[in-house]
Structure formats: structure tokens, C-alpha cells
Amino acid sequence: MLEIKDLKVSIEDKEILKGINLSVKAGEVHAIMGPNGSGKSTLASALAGRDYFNITHGKILYEGTDLTELSPEDRAREGIFMGFQYPVEIPGVSMVNFLRTAINAQRKYREEEPMPAGDFLKLMREKKKVVEINSDLTNRSVNEGFSGGEKKKNEIFQMALLEPRLAILDETDSGLDIDALRVVSNGVNNLRSPKNATIVITHYQRLLDYIVPDVVHVLYKGRIVKSGDKSLARELEEHGYDWIKQEVDADT
């Protein structure tokens, strides 16, 4: 579904990603781990289409299409979803209005009729259960006054509503207490299907106990330096990132 070939990404003149190769198939969950500054969020942002990241080399193929040719909103309409690390607040814009606009934008793109208000509210009610999110949050303005954990839940709520084909979750676990972690993970797991794929970006192994990955990659200094199955995550938990850093630095 997603093919990243030798991707190099810079901010201004600084090169952050130095040649990423990644292949994600439908039905898979890939975890991307790595120490701070390794480029994890840059990868997420480049996939989402944040324009102050310059793609200097390489390709991102999503279902065969070169993603770099698509605007962020078109990427979203093609089924790419990003769960933000720091979801922003949009005061004055109600969740309902926001999500309905989003859903209808996607439907329009797919040349479908907009969803009638009644159906949409029903859909919202259904999906709220997936993440155990209350009406008092969904009745408010987007993320306004939400706690960190509530914002993360809200990201997964939106994901449930928008039903993306490729979800990129950027440090979804940061700021979550144990219960919230469980709820959010359940939400993500409930949405898994053979037709969609998820890239989970995280520091910590704990999330991966709940959202069990098919492949774990370690990102260090802008490159994927190691890939393995879920046991790799456990190794990192036990030994930290140092042993990988040493391996890599010894080779170069």
C-alpha cells in the first residue's frame, strides 16, 4: 500500500531523513521507534504533506500514486490519516461542524453525495463508543480545553469516523495514563482490518503491548537502522537505544 523509496527530507537546509526505505502492506501494523531527534515526526509530517518539509530525493508511493504530487487535503481524501502528536485547538469551530465538513469533503472528492445531518449525527454516536468518548467533549469546539489525554482520544475518534486506509499515529501514547492508553489502543485495534494499514510512531514499548505490530523499525539519525518483529521492541525496552546507536556508529 505504501512504498517509501530512498526518501530524503530537509527542513530549510538541514537534512533530517537521509534515505528512508519502507514498505507497508494492507492489513499490517508497523511500529517506528527511535530516540529523540531521529526523525520520526519528520517522517509523519512528510507523509501527511506538511509543506515546510522539503523532499529532496526519493519517492512516496501510496497505492501506486506519487504522494508528493498531492496536497495535504487530497492525501487525506485518498484515505491517509494522521493522529497528531500535539493536536491543535480550533476555538469556535464545533466538533460536529468540523467533522461533518471533513466527511463531506471526502465524499465530494469521491463524487458521492454529502451525508445528511441526521445520518451524520447517528454515525457520530456510533463511533463515540469505539473510543469511549463523551458527548461533553464532542459537543465542544475542536480540542478546546481538552486535556492531553482527551486530545489523543479525540484523534482516534476522528480516525474512527473518517475510516482511513492508512493511519499514521504520531506518538499517540504520549501524555496518556494507563486507562487512556488501554482505551485508545482498543480503539485502534477495533479499526484494524485487512484493508487498512497503520504506522505507529512511539518511544515506548508499552503501547506496542496493546497495539501489537507486525514489523518494528528503529529510526536513528534519519535512517531506518534495524527492522524486526515485535520482539525487537521488547529488546529496546530492556536495553534502551544505546546498543543500536553503538552498532550504527561503529559501522560508519
Cβ closer to another protein: 95 or 130?
95
Cβ neighbours of 193 (radius 10 Å): 11
Q: What is the DSSP letter of 205?
A: H
Assigned C-alpha cell, 229: 518483529
CB of 203 to another protein, least distance (A): 22
What CA–CA distance (Å, rounded) separates 8 from 60? 11
Assigned C-alpha cell, 117: 445531518
CB of 213 to another protein, least distance (A): 23
Cβ closer to another protein: 30 or 75?
75
What CA–CA distance (Å, rounded) separates 212 from 36? 22
* Helices 95-109, 148-162: crossing angle, 10 deg rounding: 30
Q: How are beta strands 53-62 and 2-11 bridged, if at all?
A: antiparallel
Cβ closer to another protein: 102 or 248?
102
Cβ closer to another protein: 65 or 101?
101
**Taking phi first (over 0 means left), then psi (-120 to 50 degrees means alpha), and beta for anything else, what does residue 132 get?**
left
CB of 177 to another protein, least distance (A): 24
Query: For residue 234, what are the contacts with CB-CB under 8 A and spacing of at least 6?
Result: 205
Cβ closer to another protein: 99 or 219?
99
Cβ closer to another protein: 191 or 216?
191
CB of 205 to another protein, least distance (A): 27
Cβ closer to another protein: 45 or 205?
45
CB of 232 to another protein, least distance (A): 29
Q: Is residue 38 within 8 Å of residue 18, measured between CB atoms? A: no
CB of 106 to another protein, least distance (A): 5
Strand partners, 141: 94
Distance between first and last Cα of the chain: 32
**C-alpha dihedral, 84 to 87 to 150 to 77, nearest 10°:** -60
Point out which residues bind another protein (CB under 8 A).
48-52, 71-73, 75-77, 81-82, 84, 87-94, 97-99, 101-103, 105-106, 109, 141-142, 158, 162
CB of 76 to another protein, least distance (A): 4
